[in-house]
Amino acid sequence: MQINSKLPNVGTTIFTVMSGLANQVGAINLSQGFPNFDPAERLQRLVAEHIARGANQYSPMPGVPALRERIAEKIERMYGAKVNPDTEITVTAGGTQAIFCAIAAFVRPGDEVILLEPCYDSYRPSVETMGGVAVVHALSAPHYRVDWAAVGRLITPRTRMLCINTPQNPTGTILSESDMLAVNDLLRDTNVLLMSDEVYEHLIFDGEQHASVLRYPELYARSLAVYSFGKTYHNTGWKTGYCVAPPELTREFRKVHQFNVFSANHPMQAAFADFMADPTEYLGLPQFYQQKRDCFLQAMAHTRFRPLPCKGTYFQLFDYSAISDEPDLDFCKRLTTEFGVAAIPVSSFYSDRKDERVVRFCFAKTADLLEQAGKLLEKV
């Protein structure tokens, strides 16, 4: 039987490759983006309590009502925007599922979707699965600034969507208010939708504010904004997120969502609804992760790696060009097998594998592990 793959160029993800290699040789895994510590004990107890109370069957398709109400309250508190929990918020099985549904609901064969690379690796496959065409605006180290005039020149009558991500994985950069106003100006007289990946909304440093699309009413009118409880509450394996979009976009989003997973994990949703009653749990995250960033930078201070600016996420990029001229994938594999620390090559986030000798480390780890990694990397 012959099979024509929809994704002929997609193989095993770099995250699986590097985590697998780290496990194989017993290396410290700073490659894949997940914490090595557990979520709050109270949150874990709440999940167990809701399981005991019977929250074990399907939740409502859009999500547990109490959770959607909590999310709406948080949005108003954080961004000054009032959204309707019944018609504008959908709880999903993680941020990646929300991204897929946002793209699947609106992208048809031949439609163009503009991607700012390097970018999270699920965007392009989601576009191509729908028969869409990815159109790339490539960013460059060390600052990865977006040239919005150049992005504007990529817009054609076939453009259906622009995908942005702030704070941005893998670069650790953020979009500012001026960036969001530039996006608004670019899209104002078009039919282009905006998918805004904001899963690291609370992981933003140095006193900066998160420039969410929810702050800009005109921009929000064409937006699907994606969020992740896993990134916020240190439980990536629980795979729970949500999408916020105007009612007319939410209706189409839910048509795909209901036949994709139908509903997200019920006891986790119920627990999050209770846990979110205390906003200090997420309001303290910028300081929490900034301390980890600074701890890791201090641990790396005596290495030959050159840090790039990091304003958000839990990823820190380093330029290794003063150490080696190896391709970044080869360098990462050698770091893992010879020095005991796994990283991700940033070229894997570019569709053309653009290689600027930059690697990504995840610092969502305990201080002892970050310090140990720094000691090992001093030998490189």
User: pLDDT per residue over 35-56, tens digit each?
Assistant: 999 999 999 999 999 999 999 9
Domain 52-278 is of which CATH architecture? Answer: 3-Layer(aba) Sandwich (3.40)
User: pLDDT per residue over 280-315, tens digit each?
Assistant: 989 999 999 999 999 999 999 999 999 999 999 999
Q: Which helix (H) or strand (E) holds 371?
A: helix 367-377
Domain ranges (residues) in the chain: 14-32+284-377, 52-278
pLDDT of residue 117: 98
Query: Can you give the pTM of this predicted structure?
Result: 0.96
In the chain, what percentage of residues exceed pLDDT 90? 97
Q: What is the CATH number of domain 14-32+284-377?
A: 3.90.1150.10
The SS3 of residue 250 is helix
pLDDT of residue 240: 98
Q: Higher confidence at residue 182 or residue 8?
A: 182
Phi, psi at residue 90, to the nearest 5°? -130, 125
In the chain, what percentage of residues exceed pLDDT 70? 100
pLDDT of residue 135: 98
Strands across the sheet containing 241-244: 89-92, 241-244, 223-228, 193-197, 159-165, 112-117, 133-138
9 pLDDT higher than 90 = no
| Beta-sheet pairing, 28-29 with 341-342 | parallel
Residue-by-residue DSSP string for 186-238: HHTTS--EEEEE-TTTT-B-TTPPP--GGG-HHHHTTEEEEEEHHHHHT-GGG
pLDDT of residue 324: 97
**The tokens 């104002």 sit on which residue?**
188
User: pLDDT per residue over 340-365, tens digit each?
Assistant: 999 999 999 999 999 999 999 999 99
Range 17-34 average pLDDT: 95
11 pLDDT higher than 90 = no
| Beta-sheet pairing, 315-319 with 223-228 | unpaired
User: pLDDT per residue over 261-287, tens digit each?
Assistant: 999 999 999 999 999 999 998 999 999
User: pLDDT per residue over 206-240, tens digit each?
Assistant: 999 999 999 999 999 999 999 999 999 999 999 99
**The tokens 């005109």 sit on which residue?**
218
pLDDT of residue 221: 98
10 pLDDT higher than 90 = no
**The tokens 């701890």 sit on which residue?**
295
User: pLDDT per residue over 75-104, tens digit each?
Assistant: 999 999 999 999 999 999 999 999 999 999
Phi, psi at residue 242, to the nearest 5°? -160, 160
pLDDT of residue 281: 87
